[in-house]
Structures are given as C-alpha cells and as structure tokens.
Amino acid sequence: MLSVGVLYGGKSGEHDVSLCSAASVVMNLNPAKYSVVAIGIDRTGSWHVQDRPEIVAHPDFGKVLALHKKGSWLVNHAGTSRKIELIDRESGSSIALDVIFPVVHGTYCEDGTLQGLLELANVPYVGADVPGSAVGMDKDIAKRLLRDAGVPVVAWKAVFPEEWRAEKDVIVENVIAEFGFPLFVKPANAGSSVGVGKAKDRASLEEAVECAMQFDVKVLVEKAVDCREIECAVLGNRTPKASVLGEIIAHHEFYSYEAKYIDPAGATLKIPADVSEQLSDEIRAAAVRAYKALCCAGMARVDFFLEKGTNRFFANEINTLPGFTTISMYPKLWEATGLSYPALLDRLIELALERYKEKSSLKTIL
C-alpha cells in the first residue's frame, strides 16, 4: 500500500478551485492501493495535516475537501531516505509519505516553488518538476520557448511597471500600431483568468494594464484572436501522449473567471471537439511538441486558439496542474480517450515514481 499525500488549497488565487479538485482526487484514489493523507495548505501558506479527508459543501464549488487549520507542521528534508516526513511541532509525531500528489494551482503551487521544496525533501511527486512548472507558469517565457520550438503563438509584448510609468503613451501607440484593437491584457504569472482583460480602445487598454499590474510585475499585451478555444490533455514523461481534443464554448465575452467558476451556465465543454481529423492530428502533435519544449512531465493541459475563418491555430498556454474535478477538461479528455479517472490517477502516480527512480539513479558528484 502506497501512502499518498494529497496537497491542496495553497497561497494562490485558485485556492478554492483546488479544494474542489482535491475532493475528486481523494474520492477516486483506489483504496485497495493507496492510503491517503490530506494535507491542506491554508491561504497564508501553512500546512495542516488532516486527521482524515473530509468532503464538505461549498457555495460556489459544490463538494470540496475540508481544510481544518490544525497544529503546526514541519516538512522534513529527508536526506537519502525515500519518504518525506511531516512532523507535528507540538506533539513531535510524524507521518511518512511515499508520494505527493499536488492538487493545487497557481502561484507558489504550480510555478516550481512547491516542486523545489518536494525535490529537496526527496520525495516522488506528480506532475512537472521545477523548470517545467516555472516556465509553464510564466506566459512570456513559455511563448518564447514555444516560438523557438516552431509552435505557433499569438504576437505579444511584455510590459513592466517602470517602462509603463515612464513611457505609457509610446507603449500604447506601439501596441495599437502593431496589433490593433481588440487586445488582450494579462498578468504573465496568474491563472483562472484573474487579471485578464479585453481592451477595445485606448482607455480600456490603459485600465486593463493597470489592473493586470496588480497581479504581476510583468504584463502581456497581445493581439485578440477571434477564435474557438481548443484544449488537449497530454500525459507522460519523455514519450508523452495526447488525448482527443475538447472545446470550451464560453457564453461570456471571453473565458473569464465568472464564466469558469461563478456562472453555472458560463461555459460548455464539448468532447471531442468538432474539428476535422487532419486538424485534430496537427493540434495534438503541436500539443506534444509544446509539452516537450516546456520541459513538462507527468501531465499538462495545452490550450489552443483556433482562429475562426482561417483555421489557423495558436498555442495559448500550458497548465501543468490543470483543474482536476471529475467534470474538469483534463480528466474528461482522458476519459474520452479511454482512460478512466481512477486509472488516470494510477498512471500519474506511476509516472511520478518512474521519474523519481530515474533521477535518483543519477550522480550528483563525480
């Protein structure tokens, strides 16, 4: 029996989404194979080992995994031992785990920081490692690597606060001349459409940049594509496989935070996406190329824009810890490809153990 630590919550804008994904994961981990330890990370970043996983109701997100704040825990740097150890600072009692399943999204969770901690703690964990998580999180760096790998991306410009303050008018003139309206503005490092805005004129562009700058010191301004939104689930380590494609049909002006989580009728998922076999093959191949270019492992969801009229596609972004509720796109796409939700969890844990084994066999000194 493997002891699996499910990490959830987190110090990010996607805290509540994570509680919801985590509820699905703990309910679907096969009890004959795994003993589950739920480890909630509260909004300040403190870890709380739960006595047992408990599913409770949430006003916006349906069923979520409860996060009780209890005690004060330390993560032990386990040296050469295979297990990560969580130690209760008050009682001194400890829990050892074989593998960690981070079911968390966004800042300090999906961006390589948590993965760095898990590397130092010497424990296998699900999903991309430090570089894959970090580059996948930064939309500017990811786009540069995708462009280098020959994966089409939408033209963009990165804007920083000091330039913005010093030469706002020049920046505004340049992006309007280069891309025209409408434009999309977004923080380089965020998720769930937090801080994302659509600008149709100069005033709304300035407002959108100032808004996005509240969330990050690097902001992307990019050409708006009149598009369908197509997503592909990729699974594997160095020989990853792509799922069938899915389409997100947003019933708002774009796939905003409200459309994603607040409005129950905000968006529809269509699986498989209604695209020709040839186009589907091309997008799936681009998803695998993107996955490799961005140093991913375990899993990622690669999101595309398919331009209406031309059928040209562009990779928009990659999510290394995608939403994982039973109705989320990533597990749904695998289900449609022939891998059930519990079997997907098994495979992700296997991939984590395989990668750990391979890494552990490497020398760190001559």
How far is Cα 358 from Cα 313, in angstroms, rounded to an integer?
35
Q: Does 320 bind ligand ADP (CB under 6 A)?
A: no
Asked if omega into 31 is within 30° of 0 (cis), the reply is no
Asked if 129 is part of the footprint of ligand ADP (rule: CB under 6 A), the reply reads no
Tell me: does residue 47 bind ligand ADP (CB under 6 A): no
> Using CA atoms, how far apart are residues 247 and 305, in angstroms rounded to an integer?
10
> Using CB under 6 A, which of the segments 56-64, 91-99, 218-226, 355-363 binds ligand ADP?
218-226
Q: For ligand ADP, which stretch binds (CB under 6 A), given 31-39, 108-116, 184-192, 326-334?
A: 184-192
Q: Quick one: which of 6, 190, 267, 296 contacts ligand ADP (CB under 6 A)? A: 190
Q: Do 158 and 187 form a contact (C-beta atoms < 8 A)?
A: no
- Nearer to ligand ADP (CB atom), residue 224 or residue 351: 224
Applying CB under 6 A, does 317 fall inside the site for ligand ADP? yes
Site for ligand ADP in 143-182 (CB under 6 A): 154
Q: Is 225 helix (H, G, I), strand (E, B) or coil?
A: coil
CB-nearer residue toward ligand ADP: 172 or 315: 315
Q: Is 193 in the site for ligand ADP (CB under 6 A)?
A: yes
Q: Which positions from 226 to 245 touch ligand ADP by CB under 6 A, shown as an x/- string?
A: -x-x----------------
Pairing type for strands 34-41 and 197-199 reads unpaired
Pick the closer one to ligand ADP by CB: 229 or 335: 229
Of 191, 240, 322, 331, the one binding ligand ADP by CB under 6 A: 191
Judged by CB under 6 A, the residue of 99, 225, 287, 294 near ligand ADP is 225
Contacting residues for 20 by C-beta, under 8 A, at least 6 apart: 58, 61, 62, 63, 64, 65, 325
Tell me if 104 contacts ligand ADP by CB under 6 A.
no
CA distance linking residue 49 with residue 36, whole number of Å: 11
In angstroms, the CA 57 to CA 66 distance is 9
**Residue whose C-alpha is closest to residue 7's, from 295, 321, 319, 356:** 321
Cα–Cα distance for residue pair 5/33, rounded to 1 Å:
13
Rounded CA gap, 225 and 248, in Å?
Answer: 15
CB neighbours (10 Å) of residue 126?
Answer: 27
Residue number with the smallest Cβ distance to ligand ADP = 255
Q: Does 196 bind ligand ADP (CB under 6 A)?
A: yes
For position 192 contacting ligand ADP by CB under 6 A, the verdict is yes
Pairing of strands 55-58, 2-9: unpaired
Contact status: 133 vs ligand ADP (CB under 6 A): no
Q: Sheet of 73-76: strands edge to edge?
A: 73-76, 84-88, 94-97
Query: Is 255 among the residues that bind ligand ADP (CB under 6 A)?
Result: yes
Residues that bind ligand ADP (CB under 6 A): 154, 184, 186, 190-193, 196, 222-225, 227, 229, 250, 254-255, 303, 305, 316-317
